[in-house]
Amino acid sequence: KNEVEQSPQNLTAQEGEFITINCSYSVGISALHWLQQHPGGGIVSLFMLSSGKKKHGRLIATINIQEKHSSLHITASHPRDSAVYICAVNSGGSQGNLIFGKGTKLSVKP
Amino acid sequence: EAGVTQFPSHSVIEKGQTVTLRCDPISGHDNLYWYRRVMGKEIKFLLHFVKESKQDESGMPNNRFLAERTGGTYSTLKVQPAELEDSGVYFCASSQFGQGNEKLFFGSGTQLSVL
C-alpha cells in the first residue's frame, strides 16, 4: 500500500459543481503539497501546507495533521479545471524529496 | 522569466543505448530535483542537487543512472545502458534555497520510451 493515498482516482463533475479531492498519508510529514498537471503539460504547484488551510482563488486546501488527511476543494468548477491533481508529502528528507500519491483525474463537463 | 525547461520532450531509444536528459532550472534556483513517473505508478523522487552538490540521491534506482550538475546551473541525467523498465516520464523541478518552504517549479517532463 502506498504511503500516500488519494481518492477518488477519477472524478467527473458538471461545470459549477463543488469538488473535493482527498489525500490520506501514513507517515509523519513536515509539509504536504497539492500539484496540478494538465494533459500534456507540466506540473504546477498549487499549495504547500503544514497546518490549517490555504485559499487561492477558487481553490482551497486543508490539512488535519492529527488525522493525517488533507482535502483540496474547488468551488464553482470550470472545464479548465480538468487536470490530474496530485498530493505529495515531505516526510523529512530534503524539501523536494516527496512521496507522491497516484493522482486524481478530474474532468469537468460544460 | 523562463520557467524550468527540459529537453528533449520525447526520446525513443532501443534497449542498451544511452540517453541523456537535460534540465535547465529557473535562473538563480540553487535546488534542483529529478523525479520519474513509470506508467501506471506514482511519481518517484530520484535526487536533489544544491548547486553542483548532490544533497540527496536516495531515490536513484541503480548505477545505470548518473546525474550531474556541473557549475550549478543545468543538470543532466544519463541512463546507460537503458533498460525497458526505464521507460516513463522524467520530471525536473527547481526552487530557491531557503528555509525549506520554497515553492517548487516543475518542467514539462521528458517522455522516455525504451524499446
DSSP assignment of A11-75 equals EEEETT--EEEEEEE-S--SEEEEEEE-TTS-EEEEEEESSEEEEETTEEEEEETTTTEEEEEES
A97 close to B (CB below 8 A): yes
pLDDT attached to residue A46: 95
On the question of pLDDT at A53 being above 90, the answer is yes
Inter-chain touch A93–B100, beta carbons under 8 Å: no
What is the CB neighbour count within 10 angstroms for residue B64? 14
pLDDT tens string A1-26: 689 999 999 999 999 999 999 999 99
The CA distance from B100 to the nearest CA of chain A, in Å, is 6
3-state secondary structure at position B74: coil
- Return all residues near B113 (Cβ < 8 A) that are at least 6 apart: B10, B11, B12, B13, B87
pLDDT tens string B13-53: 999 999 999 999 999 999 999 999 998 899 999 999 999 99
A10 close to B (CB below 8 A): no
Inter-chain touch B106–A43, beta carbons under 8 Å: yes
Query: Which residues face A22 on adjacent strands?
Result: A7, A71
More reliable by pLDDT, A29 or A92:
A29
pLDDT attached to residue A42: 85
Residue B70: which pLDDT band, with cuts at 50, 70 and 90?
A: confident
Q: Given A35, A41, A94, which is nearest B108 (Cβ)?
A: A41
Query: Mean of the pLDDT values across residues B105-114?
Result: 95
On the question of pLDDT at B98 being above 90, the answer is no
- Averaged confidence pLDDT in chain A: 94
On the question of pLDDT at B101 being above 80, the answer is no
Inter-chain touch B42–A100, beta carbons under 8 Å: yes
Query: Which of chain B's residues have a Cβ under 8 Å away from the Cβ of A33?
Result: 104
The CA distance from A33 to the nearest CA of chain B, in Å, is 10
B41 close to A (CB below 8 A): yes
On the question of pLDDT at A83 being above 90, the answer is yes
Q: Given B56, B91, B103, which is nearest A93 (Cβ)?
A: B56
More reliable by pLDDT, A95 or B96:
B96
Inter-chain touch B44–A100, beta carbons under 8 Å: yes
Residue B99: which pLDDT band, with cuts at 50, 70 and 90?
A: low
Residue B100: which pLDDT band, with cuts at 50, 70 and 90?
A: low
Quote the radius of gyration of chain A (alpha carbons, Å): 13
Q: Given A30, A50, A96, which is nearest B33 (Cβ)?
A: A96
pLDDT attached to residue B72: 85
* Percentage of residues of chain A with pLDDT beyond 70: 99
CA distance B80 to B72: 23
